[in-house]
Amino acid sequence: MATVVLLGTLDTKGVEYAFLRERLLEHGVDVLLVDAGVNEPLVEPDIGRAELAQNVAELGAAGDRGAAVTAMAEGAERVVTRLYADGRLDGILALGGSGGSSIATRAMRALPVGVPKLMVSTVASGDTRPYVGAVDVTMMYSVVDISGVNSVSARIMANAAGAIAGMVNATVPPLEEKPLVAATMFGVTTPCVTRARERLEEHGYEVLVFHATGAGGESMEALARGGYFAGVLDATTTELADELVGGVLSAGPDRLEAAGAAGVPQVVSLGALDMVNFGPRETVPPQFEGRNLYVHNPTVTLMRTTPSECAELGRSIGRKLSAAKSPTVLFVPLKGVSMIDVEGQVFYDEDADAALFAGLRETLDDSVEVHEVETDINDEAFAVAMADRLHELIR
């Protein structure tokens, strides 16, 4: 039978975890109950808190919640990864508030993509990025606090048990095994990446497309570091603009470094570096009033990058690509880096684009192969050329 690991603070949530364990057993799965609390548990675990932290008694006596959460999260990660390596974990389920969610999801994020991970949390209706990270953690909103078994929480927990039981018993139909290639896409680079994906599929690859929304870039880079890809078509590097200027879709300062560091062949372009992303129009920080702002839809406002910002983006990309240990090729679309950065569109700015290209030339090493093409990024021939060159690099 499949085994579900239940991970939680049994000193405060013991009653709820006992209820959840019974629901899981009804679905015919084995259960391992792991205690991540620092005080005496309310229900007997299969793996006690002392296995997560040797100084658990001191943590409980100190009353420092922050230190306790950090220590138990580290221990939970260690124990959960060991259980998976030993073949004793097919899925993981947890309940909690912000502290319990921090402990459990740290352990979940250490597991490979594809291992079922379900977090029932009071914070699941807010910003879940710190909990989900770059992997497939499923967040379920608890609606009510995790405080006893009542008519609402019982239904939520029963649903969670059914969900994780279904996940661990789900089967994936046999698929033809093909080399994996990653590609990055945004709405304004969709025609480019769609055509490149089709061309790569013609060459015999399976293409995983990542939406460049911050988390998408982080996920792609995490998989590249993990050795999943034969090559990377990083056509849409827009997350670097958000990191530089302060937009809401940053993938962190290390974006565009994983493939090069891991030795994975990469073809890179400058997709959507003409924009920084914010939420609804009223959420744009006041210091950006007066800039070229474009309401993409009611929940997304775009801001045009300036020549000085573009120059720094070019220099940054040049440095990152020059440091790559893998075969690296840069395609530069001289007539526009997005659908709205072409002549006649709202973000068309020759000076800003020229500054971007100049910044690249300033820092690019001769080891990086560069193709400057007199077209925009969504031109079909441009997309095919990138796909064909990546295929050549992989071969």
Average pLDDT of span 213-231: 92
Q: In this structure, are residues 255 and 221 in contact, taking their beta carbons and an 8 Å threshold?
A: yes
pTM over 0.85: no
Q: Is 175's pLDDT higher than 80?
A: no
Per the listing, tokens 């870039």 go with 217
At 108-135, the pLDDT tens digits run 999 998 999 999 999 998 888 889 988 8
Q: What is the mean pLDDT of residues 254-261?
A: 96
The pLDDT confidence band at residue 54, using thresholds 50, 70 and 90, is: confident
State residue 176's pLDDT score.
83
For the chain, give the percent of residues with pLDDT over 70: 100
Percent of the chain topping pLDDT 90:
87
Q: β-pairing, 3-8 with 30-35?
A: parallel
How do beta strands 138-141 and 117-121 pair? parallel
Smallest CA-to-CA distance from 71 within 53, 83, 51 is with 53
Find out whether 20 and 93 touch, Cβ atoms under 8 Å. yes
pLDDT digit string, tens, across residues 290-348: 999 999 888 999 999 999 999 999 999 999 999 999 999 999 999 999 999 999 999 99
Residue 227 corresponds to which tokens in the numbers above?
A: 């050795």
> Tell me, what's the pLDDT at 277?
96
For residue 97, count other CB atoms closer than 10 A to its CB: 17
Count the neighbouring beta carbons within 10 Å of the beta carbon of residue 144: 13
Return mean pLDDT, the chain.
95
So what's the pLDDT on residue 60? 82
Q: Quick: pLDDT tens for 351-392.
A: 999 999 999 999 999 999 999 999 999 999 999 999 999 999
Predicted confidence (pLDDT) at residue 62 exceeds the cutoff of 90: no
Which of 283, 256, 260, 282 lies closest to 270 in space, CA to CA? 256
- Give the CA count within 13 Å in the CB-facing half-sphere of 204: 8
Taken in order of first residue, the domains within the chain and their CATH numbers are 3-169 (3.40.50.12020), 180-394 (3.40.50.12030)
Question: What pLDDT was estimated at residue 326?
Answer: 94
